[in-house]
Structure 1
Amino acid sequence: MTTTPIVTPLRTGRSLVTDTEFDTLAAFCADEYGLERTVADRIVDQALALVFVMGSTGEGTSMAPSELVDPGWHTLILHTGWYADWCQRQFGYFLHHQPNSKVRTRGLMTDVVARIRAVGFEVDERLWGTAADCNPPTCCGDGPCC
């Protein structure tokens, strides 16, 4: 007898909002931060996953976005009314932004990525600075290494 393992597909941050909401957020992120739309799509996707994990686990104070994902969270917050409603629907309270960019380390980013992955979300390693060693020429943009 052969058994077939059950594979649970990974979720995306994008799946947490409607297509219209995602398009609005990603277009804003691209325009506001001067990004290519495909890059903004990836950033907003990861920001949604991050904020969902922060809010649903109650561990937001010990987590932070990478430098590259941070504009995605700012995009969510700048849509204040929508963000407040979304937070309420997702986890029952408003998740405040408490900037702690000074503590962005490779270790913290690795921990945050592990938490996002543990909840079942896809992770875009390139946006978190965890895909390769953070040394020239593979600089991730997070931290003082480059």
Structure 2
Amino acid sequence: MPQTTPITLATWRTPGVIATAFRTVPDFIPTKRIAAAPAAPSDLPEGPAADFAAFDVALAPDRHFDLPALLAATATDAFLVVQHGRIVHETYGNGLDAATPHILMSMSKAVTGLVASRLAEAGTLDLEAPVAALVPGIAETSWRGATLR
């Protein structure tokens, strides 16, 4: 069904609009592409395929979902499982593929937390440092005194 409702800040998260909006954010929200690192990113290697045959989620006593049914029921656009640095499962839905731009939303928090914890573990990031040491513009806001932790 073609997109008929205009996508605006008021409509972008409404049914019938959200799927298109998640792929076209720069059309209605000012955004800036973040340049890739100077060296080309390396692809993650493929690993042995994960076995999801026993996967079962019960959302109600009489509603059980295997993985494909759960991804369809939740309108999941992309699902990736990485284990030990290797891709063991990758699925795209709703007309997307690996190259389709898509809004990250809360995924940004998970990735940032993961990267920060690995940097702290390696000793290159001090979680007790003030946030303003990395983001000076917030030094005089309500975040004054907050640490990275």
Q: TM-score range by the shorter chain?
A: under 0.3
Q: Larger helix proportion, structure 1 or 2?
A: 1
Q: Larger strand proportion, structure 1 or 2?
A: 2
TM-score, with structure 2 as normaliser: 0.21
Larger radius of gyration: 2
TM-score, with structure 1 as normaliser: 0.21
